[in-house]
Structure 1
């Protein structure tokens, strides 16, 4: 059976939370990895069943009422998750940004469209930065030692980088951005 990143996301979330229903997984993902890993959340309803069929998750179904399905990690699932976590990650950083795609194809648009796109992106990145900073304030700096919380630090860096880019584009100052990047480059 081929395991996808979503497979590992489901197993990892169950390893963290304990036995979970697909709805509980959806809520937990939206409050954690959903900030940086986007995928169709409908997969959180289908993937646990597929993993249970493979013996990586155990399924417990309520006998009455809504007959909720609760999944827990089996020893085989825990071993698969550990092997995945220990393996190198040769994949290139993936960014799927609709605004970047629109910018790429804007030759058919107008300069006003680019400025409008840049201004909207500035607002969105400022909003996400505020959201991440609020998470930091609520959870405190002491939790940054936890790998799950340190991902917010990476998120902040990426949001600030995107904000610098879109701001430079909106103010027609990409040359300044290039100079600053060259000055920060440790490779000289």
Structure 2
């Protein structure tokens, strides 16, 4: 079974959220600014995907006046319908996660291994920084009930990331306390 393309749905969602035509650079900037806490997209992936989405009929493309190299993309009715269909289907696959810390810990065999506390402390530092970032994003983006209501899905995902980070941080600190 072929792997489902996720990036086009991200781009379609960005287009609906921005409510305007966009460039490839604006897609990349949006991903970095808004969803990089839980999803990464390489700049090099965006332009080939935009081209495929035009071929699929989900977007139309036109040059930016005065800059023939830059293109703007517009959402079609078929693209909007594709996003709506994709949003309606629950995700059933377990995502592949690239968690290097867990991979390293998995291969350590002895509880007395001197690398364990070093790895734990490094991960604690990393998670504390990430948690501060997530909490500041929450304060910045959702200072009122109205802002929460206007972007409720984003609010929920950001809250989930905060709760996960806190739980993981608690586990790391409890584990480190055993050393």
TM bucket, shorter chain: 0.7 to 0.9
Q: Give the aligned partner of residue 5 of structure 1.
A: 6
Q: Give the aligned partner of residue 137 of structure 1.
A: 139
Residues 4/14 of structure 1: CA separation in 2 closer, same or farther (3 Å cut): same
Q: For the aligned residues, what is the CA RMSD? A: 2.4
- Listed as ranges, the gaps of 5+ residues in structure 2 are none
Q: Give the aligned partner of residue 51 of structure 1.
A: 53
| Larger displacement relative to structure 2 (98-107 or 78-87) | 98-107
Check whether the contact 2:121–2:176 (CA below 8 A) recurs between aligned residues: yes
TM-score by length of 2: 0.86
Runs of 4+ in structure 1 deviating by more than 6 angstroms, as ranges, are: none
Give the aligned length: 173
Q: Give the aligned partner of residue 124 of structure 1.
A: 126
Q: CA deviation at 1:107?
A: 3.5
Residues 171/112 of structure 1: CA separation in 2 closer, same or farther (3 Å cut): same
TM-score by length of 1: 0.82
Q: Give the aligned partner of residue 83 of structure 2.
A: 81
| Larger displacement relative to structure 2 (140-149 or 42-51) | 140-149
Residues 8/20 of structure 1: CA separation in 2 closer, same or farther (3 Å cut): same
Deviations for 1:37-77, whole angstroms, at most 9, x for unmatched residues? Answer: 12433212221111111111111113543521111211111
- Listed as ranges, the gaps of 5+ residues in structure 1 are 174-188
Aligned residue for 1:35, secondary structure, equals coil
Deviations for 1:137-169, whole angstroms, at most 9, x for unmatched residues? Answer: 223142333211221100001111111122122
